Amino acid sequence: MESFEAEALILAGTGTVWDVITDGGNFPVWDSGITEVSGEVGHGERIRVRTRDGGKRTFRLRVDQIPGQRMTWTGGLPLGLLQVERTFSLTDYTGMTHLRVKDSAAGPLRGLVRKTAPGTYPALTGYVDAVKFRAELISFHLERGVFPRPSQMTRSAPGDTAPAAAAARS
């Protein structure tokens, strides 16, 4: 199995982050790397996704959700030649959210994913960074410019500079 992961600690509530990652109609508006989503991003639904790096390819995916906590997009090729999965996991940290996104590929053609999509990890990291930016922007707007103070933060991610930046604004 081939897999790639990206994660971020986001200075926004889980509800805000969930709204960002399930609003397929707005993915092309912000720098998500996704240029088109057809269908409703809801539990049991089927969606079609086009990405900036995917050219004209359309990925047909099934959506499974535990609202506010976890979402999985799954798809692949017939006969089990390739199964792909993107899993979004959200963990609430009192007004902040840890977002983890994992892309996995399995099946005899999984090596093809690595060879034809060398930019998978940077694209995934870019997606997570874009979710972080959008959710924090929305949260900042909704909370009238109030980010949590360092004393209110219960955890932080290694290398995450957002909490330090928030503390500098206080």
Q: What is the CA radius of gyration of the chain?
A: 17
Q: Rounded to whole angstroms, how far apart are CA atoms 31 and 126?
A: 8
DSSP for 42-104 reads STT-EEEEEESTTTT--EEEEEEEETTTEEEEEEEEGGGTEEEEEEEEEEE-SS-EEEEEEEE
109-164 pLDDT, tens digit each: 877 665 555 556 778 899 999 999 999 999 887 766 555 554 444 454 444 444 44
> The whole model's pTM is what?
0.78
